[in-house]
Structure 1
Amino acid sequence: MTPWNQVYHPLNNLWISALVAAIPIISFILLLTVMKLKGYIAGAYSMVIAALVAIFLYKMPIILVIMAAFYGIIAGIWPVASIVFAAIFLYKITVKTGKFKIIENSISFITSDQRLQVLIVAFSFGAFLEGAAGFGAPVAITAAILVGLGFSPVYAASLCLIANIAGGAFGAMGIPVTVPSILTGLDSLMVGRYTAMVIPAISILVAFLLIGIIDGWKGMKQTFPAILVSSMSFAFTQAVVLYFVGAALADIFAAIVSLIALALFLQVWQPKEIYRIKEEGDSQKKSYSFGSIAYAWLPFIFLTIIVTLFNLSIVKDLFSPGGPLEKLVFLLPIPFLNNNVIKLPPIVPVETPYPAVFKFDLFSSTTTAILITIIVACFLFKCSKQLLGETLTETAKELFSPVLTICSVLAFAYICTYSGMSSTLGLAFASTGNIFPLFSPVLGWLGVFLTGSVVNSGSLFAPLQAVTASQIGIISEKMVAVNVMGGTMAKMISPQSIAVAAAAVGLSGQESKLFNITIKYSILLLVLIGIISWLLF
């Protein structure tokens, strides 16, 4: 097949061409917000619209459009959807075997002050679940726990949505960083390092914000030492892991360290005034031995260890090109598409073939690490075949629509990327010059508001951010990091996240209450990210 050169000015005018290139994105926005279609339906329609624009205006060969969409779909299945499925399956096993009840109970015994319980449950434990699963599960789980501890449903859901900011940028083993990095051909470790300049500091702010929402300035004063221990240990660990290891373990390590640090600190210090919403329920009266608690936590501890091993460079090198196990990583060139799209200046210095190679790392992926943990958990908890079958069916039903959404959005994004539409928009944004970093986070914020996922937002807008950055002389990894950070600020107002939180606490149909509470914090933090981006980057 004859290689096809990308076109960046299909209508011979940059801004008119950019307006055309924005048609699929604008359509996606309208389908979600005005027509209120489900995510996967809006994604499918937008994929078709993107294909039509690519074929008729960008003159992209039909076979290339089809294969770009196909590439996006399989990339959505592996690794994104596979990680989410495996992680939620693991969580459900702990619930069905009764071990998660012990985990929940162990948290409530650390302190009877419910302000500090929010730090333990919503802030630290929520970040742990975000790191392991993501995609709405952490908010649903932690909100349900807070309701069990005595918080009102609206309060519990709102606090957990806001707390999710601390870990939202690195959920589901860091895929909000790694997926857009792969999509744009950038170094995911470098993208994570740039987020480390801002997100840990935001995490500290979020910890204080949570206590302030519950009990105002008085609450922050009374619990100030505990907030510092929790947030500083979290932020420091998060920054170190991001810089030296990568995004995959940032949430898990930060959450574990902050949980341990706060638990130990509360053994020697408690606030003079214990804040209670209501008396403790029955769920808190039963005590468990240390052995029972450790046993319940064992799968998550094992998961942390094995994911850490999988992410060590010495292990990664085994599966890298030239390594002894490289043949266990299957590289599948996408037919017709691989190297048949040519990127042109000024997007690249010289004409460059655009690779399209699907990486199926079955023996070294995060999904595999979670699957191994599931096997260990099934052995430890003596799970029956019936329980596993029920859990598998239940997980598949619950995740069917989210997986379709992931795949349709990635298909839409890959068409925009390989056709050159994202490059057209990037060139247009580049003409705004040095002011671009100020509103760069808005793109990530908008993407998460619409799709409910920092991963999907990155798939939509990371290529645009990278192209724009290169055009105005900024390191591309910086703007992709800004896209992640801006998107994280929208997780608390995403209709998908709010719907999950509302359903978890029995507030279905009352999502507007949660939105009205969280919107002001989301906008304030977005403005803060924009200013930081402008000043630092």
Structure 2
Amino acid sequence: MNTFQITTDAIAGSPALTALVSILPLVAFFIMLLGIKARAHTSGAVALLVALLIAIFGFDMSFGMAVSSAVRGGLFGLLPIVWVIVTAIWFYEITVASGRFEDLRKTFDLLGDGDIRIQAILIAFCFGGLLEALAGFGAPVAITATMILALGVKPLKAATVVLIANTAPVAFGAVGIPVTTAGEVGGRTVEQTADIAGLISSIVFLIAAAVPFFILFILDGWRGVKEAAPAAGVVGISFAIAQWLAANFFAYQLTNVIACIVSLGCAFAFLRVWKPKNVDALRERMGLPAQETSTDLTGSRIWMALLPYAVVTAVFGLATAVPALFGFLKVKFAWPLLDGTVLATDGKPMDTAFSFNVFGNPGSLLLIAGIIVAVIYMFFNENGRYTLKASDPVTKFGDVANRMKWSALTIILVLALAYTMNYSGQTIAIGEFVASAGGIFALFSPVLGWIGTAVTGSDTSANALFANLQVTAANNIGVNPDLMLASNTAGGVVGKMISPQSLAIAATAVQMEGQESKILKAVVGYSALFLVVVCVIVFLMTNALGFLVP
């Protein structure tokens, strides 16, 4: 069987020209999305076509292998990513159909005294971080966006808020998989991987502490920052400190769980003694009804409104603690035309096999949790006050699948693009050229993680792509490899908000399908600003802040 070896100077023997040409699929995507204002799935299809042509005619990959690479990525986009998003939105729709979501909204009203800005912080940042810790794969964006939209926030602002909130938790999402991947691919020991986690928490500390303030600004400008800054400070700083402590002195896999619980606890305690001002004026500015001065909520109704998320936490906790419980059926097979035939730059075969944990993946776990919640809601309806018919879960699933069709196609095409670029060598060519900058590479090393996550929508994938490259570059310039691996992960953290996958998820959740370009314009400036902060901090950690590096 013919083999294909990745080279970083495939075009005219020039690494620079090869990297330049390799960027063209990404350029094509953003020109289509922002310049021509095409829909996201159309932009993804054009970018994929460009990547396939470059793979075949630029890198000499066979037609069959190039197409097989695209199909391999597309299947990963469908399973588990689209599957996770569909089940996440369906899970939310079950709570709405039951009538319990309105009680959840009133519960947040009680906690935030009607201040929608504080409620958005608690939902998007704290609760979203907890979902990121347990599920990842877009589920936090999908669920929290619908919740914030239901509070009365305009769709574009809701999408912007959840995408920016889904930053600091990303590095430790899905029980720390991005960190674990960085350590494994980078050839680090268990102890060194733990050091990577600690370094990441130091790099993103300022961003984690600042995100709640950005949420205030997005929702209500500088007035919002001034009026609700105390609450934002308590949430952001407590989260950042807890994240740093957990990553450095506890199990990094549970970093997000600990940080989110601590920040929620601190917020609850603080809001018992501090009350937001000018809430009525805020609600009037945002076109919302006046704050409810009284509520008929009872303890049992509050508990039943929170029950779905307790069930989600319990199901994911069980799956993490006892992997065999849901992981007994796994599908894994060698991928046609790629298995053993795609060789990395070092001549070793790349792992191209496809695997899928049928019941243990986040999407199936959300489905299981949703079924449990639906059954409970059907039987405990408080004398008919809440109604969830037996047919509702099935009907709602069909409705969500229909709504998701174009977003699902976008995600499938984007992952097909990512895998085509990966297996043909385009992504590696870009990365190695950037790494050739020498000592100044430390300043720009997060950009690789930013690019990798922006393309694939996954910090884990970005680490899988560039971990070895970061270690090699670090050894060449005399920098701690663990810091460069942490840098790659931190760069991915701030790149996720502009990934086509995240944009499509957010657009679907807030019912802005086909308007992904508007969301991109709203968040790209924040992503660039956060990236600059990460780059500067990493560079300082190689110099003035070297004491932070083990």
Q: TM-score range by the shorter chain?
A: 0.7 to 0.9
Cα deviation 1:451-502 (Å, max 9, x = unaligned): 7x843x875796257535533434563343033123146589x865885687
Contact 2:149/2:510 (CA < 8 Å) preserved in 1?
no
2:5 partner amino acid: N
CA distance in 2, matches of 1:528, 1:198: 9
CA distance in 2, matches of 1:282, 1:95: 21
The 5 A counterparts of 1:363-512 are: 363-382=359-378, 383-442=388-447, 454-455=457-458, 463-464=465-466, 466-467=468-469, 469-473=471-475, 474-475=481-482, 477-488=485-496, 490=498
Measured at CA, do residues 393 and 330 of structure 1 come closer, stay the same or move farther in structure 2, by a change above 3 Å?
closer
Measured at CA, do residues 195 and 86 of structure 1 come closer, stay the same or move farther in structure 2, by a change above 3 Å?
farther
1:220 Cα deviation from its structure 2 partner: 6.7
Measured at CA, do residues 144 and 13 of structure 1 come closer, stay the same or move farther in structure 2, by a change above 3 Å?
closer
TM-score (norm 2): 0.78
Which position in structure 1 is the counterpart of 2:125? 123
2:409 partner amino acid: L
> Does residue 308 in structure 1 map to residue 309 in structure 2?
no
Which position in structure 2 is the counterpart of 1:352? 348
CA distance in 2, matches of 1:326, 1:511: 38
CA distance in 1, matches of 2:177, 2:33: 21
Query: What SS is found at the alignment partner of 1:330?
Result: strand
Aligned length, in residue pairs:
511
> Does residue 265 in structure 1 map to residue 267 in structure 2?
no
2:362 partner amino acid: T
Measured at CA, do residues 489 and 526 of structure 1 come closer, stay the same or move farther in structure 2, by a change above 3 Å?
farther
Measured at CA, do residues 40 and 153 of structure 1 come closer, stay the same or move farther in structure 2, by a change above 3 Å?
closer
Which position in structure 1 is the counterpart of 2:84? 83
CA distance in 2, matches of 1:393, 1:304: 25
Contact 1:194/1:481 (CA < 8 Å) preserved in 2?
no
Measured at CA, do residues 251 and 308 of structure 1 come closer, stay the same or move farther in structure 2, by a change above 3 Å?
same
Measured at CA, do residues 122 and 78 of structure 1 come closer, stay the same or move farther in structure 2, by a change above 3 Å?
closer
CA distance in 1, matches of 2:506, 2:315: 32
Measured at CA, do residues 281 and 164 of structure 1 come closer, stay the same or move farther in structure 2, by a change above 3 Å?
farther
- Unaligned runs of at least 5 residues, structure 2: 379-387, 476-480, 543-550
Measured at CA, do residues 30 and 272 of structure 1 come closer, stay the same or move farther in structure 2, by a change above 3 Å?
closer
CA distance in 1, matches of 2:222, 2:489: 33
1:181 Cα deviation from its structure 2 partner: 6.0
Measured at CA, do residues 217 and 92 of structure 1 come closer, stay the same or move farther in structure 2, by a change above 3 Å?
closer
Query: What SS is found at the alignment partner of 1:197?
Result: helix
Which position in structure 1 is the counterpart of 2:62? 61
RMSD: 4.1
CA distance in 2, matches of 1:196, 1:406: 29
Which position in structure 2 is the counterpart of 1:29? 30
Contact 1:329/1:360 (CA < 8 Å) preserved in 2?
yes
Query: What SS is found at the alignment partner of 1:353?
Result: coil
Measured at CA, do residues 530 and 138 of structure 1 come closer, stay the same or move farther in structure 2, by a change above 3 Å?
farther
CA distance in 1, matches of 2:220, 2:229: 12
> Does residue 3 in structure 1 map to residue 3 in structure 2?
yes
Contact 2:41/2:413 (CA < 8 Å) preserved in 1?
yes
TM-score (norm 1): 0.79
CA distance in 2, matches of 1:29, 1:214: 26
> Does residue 51 in structure 1 map to residue 68 in structure 2?
no
CA distance in 1, matches of 2:155, 2:333: 48
Query: What SS is found at the alignment partner of 1:534?
Result: helix
Query: What SS is found at the alignment partner of 1:355?
Result: coil
Query: Which of 285, 288, 298 lines up with 1:289 in the alignment?
Result: 298
Which position in structure 2 is the counterpart of 1:16? 17
1:9 Cα deviation from its structure 2 partner: 1.6
Measured at CA, do residues 205 and 300 of structure 1 come closer, stay the same or move farther in structure 2, by a change above 3 Å?
same
Measured at CA, do residues 311 and 423 of structure 1 come closer, stay the same or move farther in structure 2, by a change above 3 Å?
same
Query: What SS is found at the alignment partner of 1:331?
Result: strand
Measured at CA, do residues 196 and 80 of structure 1 come closer, stay the same or move farther in structure 2, by a change above 3 Å?
farther
2:2 partner amino acid: T
Which position in structure 2 is the counterpart of 1:527? 532
Measured at CA, do residues 99 and 130 of structure 1 come closer, stay the same or move farther in structure 2, by a change above 3 Å?
farther
1:470 partner amino acid: T
1:105 Cα deviation from its structure 2 partner: 0.6
Higher mean alpha-carbon deviation, 104-113 vs 292-301, is at 104-113
Contact 2:491/2:534 (CA < 8 Å) preserved in 1?
no
1:379 Cα deviation from its structure 2 partner: 0.8
CA distance in 2, matches of 1:96, 1:367: 20
1:374 Cα deviation from its structure 2 partner: 1.2
Query: What SS is found at the alignment partner of 1:66?
Result: helix
Higher mean alpha-carbon deviation, 175-184 vs 472-481, is at 175-184
CA distance in 2, matches of 1:416, 1:509: 26
Query: What SS is found at the alignment partner of 1:360?
Result: strand
Query: What SS is found at the alignment partner of 2:7?
Result: coil
1:340 partner amino acid: T
CA distance in 2, matches of 1:82, 1:154: 24
CA distance in 1, matches of 2:505, 2:47: 21
Which position in structure 2 is the counterpart of 1:322? none
1:340 Cα deviation from its structure 2 partner: 1.3
Which position in structure 1 is the counterpart of 2:357? 361
Contact 1:122/1:163 (CA < 8 Å) preserved in 2?
yes
1:50 Cα deviation from its structure 2 partner: 1.6
